[in-house]
Amino acid sequence: MEIRGPVLLPARREDVELHTVDGLTLVGELALPADREPVATLVTLHPLPTAGGFMDSHILRKAAGRLPALADLAVLRFNTRGTTSPRGTSEGSFDGGAAEVFDVAAAMDLVRERGLPRPWLVGWSFGTELALKYGRDHDIEGIILLSPPLHRATAEEVAAWGRDSRRVVVLAPEFDDYLRPAEARERFASIPHATLIGVEGGKHLWVGETQTRRVLTEIVAAVNPDALPLATEWDDDAV
């Protein structure tokens, strides 16, 4: 079977609830390797909910569908406050990235409670703003930023990562709607140790299997490079 599109490879999948300090319940899913413990954890932060982003935005859904089996990773997805997906609706209302500080903290609380290893924040678009603004407050190994628009994270918040030794990996699509590689290099220059990857042919939404595989490969290259190259075929039945 070729691994592409919405295929779900074997994993232990569990619906979870996150509880914020301001009293909200957020809905999500935790996917773990089917028959072993994870070597690292991806805490995913979805694109802008007012523009259709949610925990099932395709790159995050495919990460959860493939990477527990292909790269021994745990993948936590959740809807930020006020966001709806087939999993359900998280309580509260969208706050433009402000009160979402509590949503990120609730996700990290679950990671800590479950003893999940080596957490990374993986943000896409709006999710990159949350990672940049709030990731430094948590015990993570680094952040991976997919199509960062840098609309909400300030220059000061970006530069603060330059004083932090943790990894910063930026994927800037060649044809991004908001921040293309050349400008991204300027905007992230305040983080000397950042790894900035310009993705030829890439677009903000990473549409198509070629772009999906590139993004997932770069995530795994940062978090568990021993799992590369990622398989493109699976011998067992999907679940």
Closest listed residue to residue 63, CA positions, set 202, 207, 227, 213: 213
Q: pTM, whole model, 2 decimals? A: 0.97
Closest listed residue to residue 60, CA positions, set 72, 41, 44: 44
DSSP-derived secondary structure letter, 238 = P
- The reported pLDDT for the residue numbered 125 is 98
pLDDT tens-place string over residues 37-50: 999 999 999 999 99
- The reported pLDDT for the residue numbered 238 is 46
Spatial separation of the C-alpha atoms in residues 119 and 53, rounded to whole Å: 22
Torsion of CA 168, 100, 26, 9, to 10 degrees: -20
Token couple for 115: 């003893």
CB burial readout 3-25, b (16+ within 10 A) else e: beeeebbebebeebebebeeebe
Find the helix packing angle between 58-71 and 209-223, rounded to 10°: 50
- Contact assessment for residue 172 and residue 140, using Cβ atoms and an 8 Å cutoff: no
pLDDT tens-place string over residues 50-75: 999 999 999 999 999 999 999 999 99
> Which parts of 169-224 fold into alpha helices (H)?
181-187, 209-223
Beta strands in 33-137 (DSSP E): 40-45, 73-78, 84-85, 88-89, 119-124
12-227, which class in CATH? Answer: alpha beta
Q: Kindly give the parts of the chain with pLDDT less than 50.
A: 238-239
- The reported pLDDT for the residue numbered 237 is 56
